[in-house]
Every structure is written in structure tokens, then in C-alpha cells.
Structure 1
Amino acid sequence: MRLDDQICFSLATASRSVAALYRPLLDQAGLTQPQYMVMLALWERSPATIKEIAAAVQLDHGTLTPLLKRLEAAGHIVRRRRADDERSVEVDLTSQGRALRQRVETIPDRITQALPLTPEENRHLRELLAKLGGEPA
């Protein structure tokens, strides 16, 4: 049994490599990678409940809540109780949060260009990762 033969090792090292590509780009925008994922979910659908965001980014409430607090402190989002259900908290983008999208919109292309993959390999990798993650390909 060798370390290099373990899929967990390959996934972990690949994840660190990709995160290292994202980090300087996200630092310029003042975001961490988990915050970026939350913002991506909100740019797709806002307002959204915390439960909906947690499902979209596959984070539990305990991990998501501090991320939301930091995004709110930075002025990117607002959280408020829903009028029709006081138990539910809704998250909405601020104008600053909507404007942030323009600052980071080139990141996906820049990451794709930095990866040592052909477009076909990139597509195939995403399909395989979606399959491993239990998502429909």
C-alpha cells in the first residue's frame, strides 16, 4: 500500500494546488475561498435562506454562520428574519455585494488558464468530481 496510490492523497494534493491558484485572486477581492463559494451561490439566487445557502455550498450551519457574519461585516450581505417565518433567516446581497461580482468575474477563466489541463480534460475532471461528490454529471 503506497501513499501515491491512494485517491484521498491525490484529491488532497490537487485541492491544495487549486486553492493556491485561487488564493491570490481572492485575496485581491478580500474573500476567502468559502466566502467566495457563498457569494457565488448568492449571485445565482438572492435572497436565499441560510438553509438554501448551506445546501448550495454543502456547508453545515455551524460553519456557514461565521462566514455570513464576516460577509455582513464587510458590507457584502444583509441578514434578516423573514416576515412570514420568524424562525427563518434570509440573506440578501447589498449593492456592494452585487458590485463585487464584477471584480471577481474573471477568476474562473484565470483559473482555467492556469490549470495544466486541456479544455476536454477540464470538462472531464469536473464530471468525475461531480460524480464523486454525488452530483448529477
Structure 2
Amino acid sequence: MPVICSEWNFRSGPADQGAQRLLVPVVDLPSGLRNSRPAGTATTIGVGAVVDGADEAAVLDDVAVEYAYGDAATVEAVTRWRAAPVKRVPGAWRATVPGDAPAGTFVHLRVTLADGHGAHVAQAMVRAYEVR
């Protein structure tokens, strides 16, 4: 089962009382019921966000995705993060994790998202999926 850790930053001031603008990551990972992907196959991941309490998707200005391989079970234990190529496509963002991990390896993901309103979120997913 994946471990997820998130960190939020947002602009705030005396006039910004009440609910704050929090980005909630939406990661569309094409995995099956076993939360796995086949070895030797690149994985394209959809990345986006919603604003907490809003009904529509957030418009993101900046998206970064990193990945790492291994059997770590905590965020602190994951090392050797690598940048995944990210492309903006109409209405969405896509990142591609290469298919070079051997079978039996877990893939960890870290997404960093920002919008034009000063909201920012970083989320790490330990053991996001297993390569089989």
C-alpha cells in the first residue's frame, strides 16, 4: 500500500481569512487491481490538481514529476530521485516514467505543482506502483 506525504504553501495576508487556496494533486496512474505495471514498458501519468472546495480542475502554471526505484517504505528512505519528462497537453499535463526498472521493483513518485495564485503543493507517493 502506498505511503503519501504532502506539503502545501500558499499566499496569505490580513485580508485572506477563512479557507485558504489549497491545491490537491490528482495523479492518474494507469495501474490495475494489483497496483502494478509491466516491466519494460514506459508509464505515462496524468497530472493535475483541484482546489480544495472547488468543483473544477485548477489551472497549473508549473508541474514537475520525479521518480525513484527501490523497496523503501518511507519518504525519508527514498533516494536518487530523477526528473521525469513532463508535457503540457490540452487541458492536462502528462509525465512519462521510463520502463527501465526491473520486475519486482517499486516506483516512487513525487509531484510538485503550482498555480498563478501563489498556491503550491509537493506530494510524494512511496511505492506508487510495482513493476511486474
TM-score (norm 1): 0.24
* Higher relative helix content: 1
TM normalised by structure 2 equals 0.25
- Kindly indicate whether structure 1 or structure 2 has the higher relative contact order, using CA contacts under 8 Å at least 6 residues apart: 2
